[in-house]
Amino acid sequence: MKKLIVGNFKMNTTVKEFAVYLDKFLPKVKDSKSDVVLCLPYTHLMLASQKLVSTEVNFGSQNISIDTSGAHTGEVSANMVKDLGATYTIIGHSEIRKRFKETNEQVNQKIINALGVNLKVILCIGETKTEKNANKTAAVLKKQIDIALKGLYENELKNIIIAYEPCWAIGTGNVASSKDIENAVKTIRKVIEEDFSEKAAEKMLVLYGGSTKLENFNSILKVKGVNGLLVGGACLDADVFAKMV
Ligand code: PEP
Q: Exposed, middle or buried, 202 (CB in 10 Å: 0-12/13-18/19+)?
A: exposed
pLDDT above 70 as % of the chain: 100
Q: pLDDT tens across 122-180, in order?
A: 999 999 999 999 999 999 999 999 999 999 999 999 999 999 999 999 999 999 999 99
Q: Is 208 helix (H, G, I), strand (E, B) or coil?
A: strand
165 is annotated as an active-site residue: yes
What was the pLDDT predicted at 112? Answer: 98
72 is catalytic: no
- Give the pLDDT score at 1: 87
Asked if 224 contacts 189 with a C-beta cutoff of 8 angstroms, the reply is: no
User: Residue 190: is its pLDDT beyond 90?
Assistant: yes
| Residue 208: predicted pLDDT | 98
Q: Max alpha carbon distance in the chain (Å)?
A: 48
Active-site annotation holder among 56, 95, 165, 193: 165
Q: What is the mean pLDDT of residues 12-28?
A: 98
pLDDT, averaged across the chain: 97
Tell me what the mean pLDDT of segment 86-98 comes to: 98
Treating both helix axes as pointing N-terminal to C-terminal, what angle do 104-116 and 137-148 enclose, rounded to 10 degrees?
A: 40
CATH topology of domain 4-244: TIM Barrel (3.20.20)
Protein residue with least CA distance to atom 2, ligand 1? 232
Q: Which residue owns the Cα nearest ligand 1 atom 8?
A: 232
What count of residues does the chain have?
245
Q: What is the pLDDT of residue 170?
A: 96
d(CA 7, ligand 1 centre) in Å? 9
pLDDT value for 193: 98
- Name every protein residue with a CB atom under 6 angstroms from any ligand 1 atom: 8, 10, 165, 170-171, 209-212, 230-234
For the chain, which residues make up each domain, given as ranges?
4-244
> Distance from the CA of 40 to the center of ligand 1, in angstroms?
13
Would the pTM count as exceeding 0.75? yes
Q: What is the mean pLDDT of residues 201-222?
A: 97
Does residue 200 surpass a pLDDT of 90?
Answer: yes
